[in-house]
Amino acid sequence: MNLTPVFNEYLRHAALPVLELQWSPGGTVRYRWQADEKAFAMPVLVGSKQHWQKIQPTTEWQTMQTPLAKDQFEVATDLYFIKVDWMP
């Protein structure tokens, strides 16, 4: 795994990467990184503390299905130095 974009994002840019999430009816979640490095692609754990799921966000939108409700869906922010933003 090429970690250069991850190191560049954290060492060369002041803003934290933002995991943007969009909720759609039917348990679909769209996600992507909002980051200064175009190739930034850091995996992150999402879901619930009892059953984390690893996703591989990039700067392009991706989707995933989840049985969780929007208010139950979490990001393991205690494990990463990131921001999370729920988009409308």
DSSP for 28-55?
EEEEEEE-SSTT----EEEEETTEEEEE
Give pLDDT, residue 36.
97
Domain residue ranges in the chain:
4-87
23-50 residue pLDDT tens: 998 899 999 999 999 999 999 999 999 9
Q: In terms of pTM, does the model score above 0.85?
A: yes
In this predicted structure, what is the pLDDT of residue 72? 95
What is the mean pLDDT of the segment spanning 48-68?
A: 96
Out of 2.60.40.1910, 3.30.470.30, 3.10.105.10, 2.40.50.140, which CATH number does the structure's domain 4-87 have?
2.60.40.1910
Q: How far apart are CA 83 and CA 20, in angstroms?
A: 9
